[in-house]
Structure 1
Amino acid sequence: MPPPILHALLRATPSIAPISHRGILSINGSQSTEFLNGLVASSVRKPPQSQFSAILHPQGRVMYDIFLYATNEGYLLEYDARTSEAPPLLAYMKRHVLRSKVKIRSVTDEFDVWSAWGSEADRNLETQRDWLWARSGAVEPIWTGSSNWPWGSQNHVIHDRRAVGMGRRLLVRKGDMPQEATSHDILSSDEYLLHRILLGVPEGTPDILPMYAFPMDSNLDVMGALDFRKGCYVGQELTVRTYHTGVIRKRIFPVIIRNLNTTSHELSPVLFGEHSDIKAVSANTDRQGPRPRGTGKLLSSHGGVGLALLRLEHVAGVEKGDLELKLEVADGDKLSRWSIHPWRPDWWPQDTPPSSEITS
């Protein structure tokens, strides 16, 4: 549950906001479903259906988290178009076409991406989700509250089921406003960033570092992007092996960021650099023994809250009161110090599953 200090940040009114830095690919052709099924980490079946997924490197690292919008002609694929260490997605996918009957082109200049959330209709989209645990700590959502496809079937719209409360994702013709503009508050892209931080949803290159991030560390399993039982796809071997025989040691958590140099409990408006180190230190100065190993990373942040990749053992230590998480930021000749307080959103699965739910 978000701490009480964050309740004022949670918007209770229907809202829409544009999502920046998004690219769109059109993928059409009689073999487009089979083509995508061999490249993405979730099952892509006929007839085409919209969904959230990911494209992995052969070594199992994440290159792109993506949304697939099913259309009458094939698919529209939405991704983070910012330059990163991952290969440009259009060129990467074209290299895999070979003799497949598939046509791929960029249509980024034809669409804008928006998010809509907070309306009664959005709340009605939420159906019950149960959780299937693996011994590694990987977790999958099981949609049990409806027989309908959880990501929706409306053209150019996806039910954003990555987290309870995310609402809907909309593709809108470039320059047009969503039809919800007449009934929703129109917010900025920064307000969308705040919305997903408060719900614990990582997205794009700032949070899921291309060519470095592992899918389960980045909560892609919890958000429904991975199918651990489908056939061969790029990056499958390490992902499935981790699921069955590995151990998940890190997760992305939402965090509160407080200045240690002041006694104020207000949230800070400071903008932090991405991927700053977060160190775990003992909360007890008399504690003996080795220092906590490893560090975390601050990812996206806005208005005193953020997302951070943290070691699960560090989070457990903070929750027990044994450890504290600290961040140091250089500002010229000065060094400011910040405390990091993680929390678990309401919609997350239980921390410890019943033994009957654990799969081998």
Structure 2
Amino acid sequence: MKTWTLRAESSKVTSAYMLLPPVVSRVPTVARVPYRTVLSLSGSQATEFLNGLVSGAVPASPRPFYSAFLHAQGKVLYDAFFYTRTAPDGQKSYLIDYDSRSADAPPLLQLLKRYILRSRVKVRDASDEFDVWAAWGTPADAEKAPRQWRWAEHSGVAEPVWDNSVSPWGTADLEVRDVRAPGMGRRLLVRKKDTPPESASHDFLPSEFYTLHRMLHGVPEGTGEMFGFPMESNLDIMGAVDFRKGCYVGQELTVRTYHTGVIRKRILPVVIHAADARPDGPAEPRAEIPSFAANSEIRPLVLREGGVRPRGTGKLLNSTHGIGLALLRLEHVQAAEQGNLAFTLDADASPEWGISQWRPEWWPQSDAA
């Protein structure tokens, strides 16, 4: 029986308080994605119906995509993958893959039924038909060229500029190319009790390796990690928000932020370590690091005067084996990158723990930044 480890690699460390982006081993891998629910959405007006609800652009003819449902005040209810399925008569319908664990948001099935009214749409739970899997690590999963970005003038919002000649999320049924970040691979819907065909050629790993995979790429997912405004959850740079489409629920505040607001917080990947042993090398998962409660408070600690007055705190959203995702104030991040500030984890545990963040390699970089 094989014992599996996951190693993050980095070429150079520029500061004791900032790690360069790690790269997950590119061995072909398949793992089940935990905590997912699947809904079926069909009908002649399904595309039009979704376009009035989700934050992203819905293809004119049914194709896979990734987007989010917001509430009227513009905060994230659910992020979701949208797959297609073709019936024997050639009619296409959607399958929606999302995290249904939220205690605060209305169940998505009820939410969709509330908006149907006279639309020619049918929605039902299909979780008893499908499981959600992820596959990554093949040469086909790698992006061939650096991403191009469209920047808002003042707010710090950035959008990927896709090649309009191809669908970035793919075209196959029951599959989505996961282009939230380079190297994320593919998302698959597989019939219950079956395994993906990739199982024959890929390493078959537990779900926690998928969680590590996406956190090392700086990709938040699900209701436990996304609950603020979409740009704070990086949904803009992951291609889930269209700032030029027509009306949808939560559009007003989202577009206003794009044009006149400022993004003050974002979710970043972090490494957890002993407070007196800040890393001077690559971020690497470590099994001996304990798990911490979701939304554990992260406090900024001034190391030397650098013009920053620490206001507020951050939140550790999720972690495993010492790698996590945290919602941090960008002014604190900048001060930490300059060596003026460090982060400590306010947890009911001993010893005291420190947090070091990094900016994922694939993130947009502008001259202004």
Superposition TM-score, scaled by structure 1 size: 0.90
CA distance in 2 between counterparts of 1:101 and 1:8 reads: 47
Are the structure 2 counterparts of residues 317 and 2 from structure 1 closer, same or farther at C-alpha, using a change threshold of 3 Å? farther
Q: Which blocks of at least 5 consecutive residues in structure 2 are unaligned?
A: 1-7, 12-18, 87-91
CA distance in 1 between counterparts of 2:79 and 2:9 reads: 25
CA distance in 1 between counterparts of 2:179 and 2:238 reads: 7
Are the structure 2 counterparts of residues 151 and 8 from structure 1 closer, same or farther at C-alpha, using a change threshold of 3 Å? closer
Greater mean alpha carbon deviation, residues 66-75 or residues 22-31: 66-75
Match of 2:69 in 1: 55
CA contact (8 A) 1:133 1:353 kept: no
Match of 1:192 in 2: 210
What do residues 152-185 of structure 1 show as CA deviations (whole Å, max 9, x unaligned)?
0011110000000000000000110000000000
CA contact (8 A) 1:2 1:198 kept: no
Match of 1:122 in 2: 141
Which amino acid is 1:296 matched to? G
CA RMSD of aligned residues (A): 2.3
Once the two structures are TM-superposed, the CA of residue 305 in structure 1 deviates from its matched residue by 1.0
Which amino acid is 2:302 matched to? S
Are the structure 2 counterparts of residues 37 and 306 from structure 1 closer, same or farther at C-alpha, using a change threshold of 3 Å? same
Aligned residues: 344
CA distance in 1 between counterparts of 2:360 and 2:279 reads: 24
CA distance in 2 between counterparts of 1:175 and 1:126 reads: 35
Which amino acid is 1:84 matched to? A
Quick check: 1:10 aligned with 2:28?
no
Match of 2:129 in 1: 110
Greater mean alpha carbon deviation, residues 254-263 or residues 340-349: 254-263
Once the two structures are TM-superposed, the CA of residue 71 in structure 1 deviates from its matched residue by 2.5
Aligned partner of 1:225 among 217, 237, 240: 240
CA distance in 2 between counterparts of 1:68 and 1:8 reads: 29
CA distance in 1 between counterparts of 2:204 and 2:72 reads: 40
What do residues 46-102 of structure 1 show as CA deviations (whole Å, max 9, x unaligned)?
211110100000000000000111223321111102142000000111010001110
Percentage of identical aligned residues: 53
CA contact (8 A) 1:2 1:344 kept: no
Once the two structures are TM-superposed, the CA of residue 260 in structure 1 deviates from its matched residue by 2.0
Match of 1:358 in 2: none
Quick check: 1:148 aligned with 2:166?
yes
Q: Which blocks of at least 5 consecutive residues in structure 1 are unaligned?
A: 355-360
CA contact (8 A) 1:53 1:65 kept: yes
Once the two structures are TM-superposed, the CA of residue 11 in structure 1 deviates from its matched residue by 2.2
Once the two structures are TM-superposed, the CA of residue 37 in structure 1 deviates from its matched residue by 0.4
Match of 2:322 in 1: 304
What do residues 138-165 of structure 1 show as CA deviations (whole Å, max 9, x unaligned)?
0000024x72110000111100000000
Are the structure 2 counterparts of residues 262 and 230 from structure 1 closer, same or farther at C-alpha, using a change threshold of 3 Å? closer
* Helix, strand or coil at the partner of 2:299: strand
* Helix, strand or coil at the partner of 1:251: strand
CA contact (8 A) 1:2 1:343 kept: no
What do residues 179-225 of structure 1 show as CA deviations (whole Å, max 9, x unaligned)?
0000000011100000001000000022113xxx1100000000000
Match of 2:253 in 1: 238
CA distance in 2 between counterparts of 1:86 and 1:215 reads: 15
Quick check: 1:41 aligned with 2:55?
yes
Match of 1:343 in 2: 358
Match of 2:340 in 1: 322
5 Å-filtered alignment, 1:173-188, equals 173-188=191-206
Are the structure 2 counterparts of residues 318 and 94 from structure 1 closer, same or farther at C-alpha, using a change threshold of 3 Å? same
Match of 2:83 in 1: 69
Once the two structures are TM-superposed, the CA of residue 8 in structure 1 deviates from its matched residue by 8.8
Once the two structures are TM-superposed, the CA of residue 3 in structure 1 deviates from its matched residue by 4.5
- Per residue, is there more helix in 1 or in 2? 1
CA distance in 2 between counterparts of 1:200 and 1:2 reads: 15
CA distance in 2 between counterparts of 1:298 and 1:47 reads: 39
Higher relative contact order (CA 8 A, sep 6+): 2
CA contact (8 A) 2:289 2:322 kept: yes
Which amino acid is 2:99 matched to? D
Once the two structures are TM-superposed, the CA of residue 300 in structure 1 deviates from its matched residue by 1.2
CA distance in 2 between counterparts of 1:199 and 1:255 reads: 11
Which amino acid is 2:256 matched to? R
Match of 1:215 in 2: 230
Are the structure 2 counterparts of residues 351 and 305 from structure 1 closer, same or farther at C-alpha, using a change threshold of 3 Å? farther
Greater mean alpha carbon deviation, residues 216-225 or residues 343-352: 343-352
CA contact (8 A) 1:327 1:339 kept: yes
CA distance in 1 between counterparts of 2:197 and 2:334 reads: 44
Which amino acid is 1:114 matched to? W
Are the structure 2 counterparts of residues 263 and 153 from structure 1 closer, same or farther at C-alpha, using a change threshold of 3 Å? closer
What do residues 209-265 of structure 1 show as CA deviations (whole Å, max 9, x unaligned)?
3xxx11000000000000000001000000000000000001110011101266898
Match of 1:271 in 2: 291
Quick check: 1:131 aligned with 2:142?
no
Greater mean alpha carbon deviation, residues 191-200 or residues 257-266: 257-266
Aligned partner of 1:30 among 44, 52, 55: 44
* Helix, strand or coil at the partner of 1:341: strand
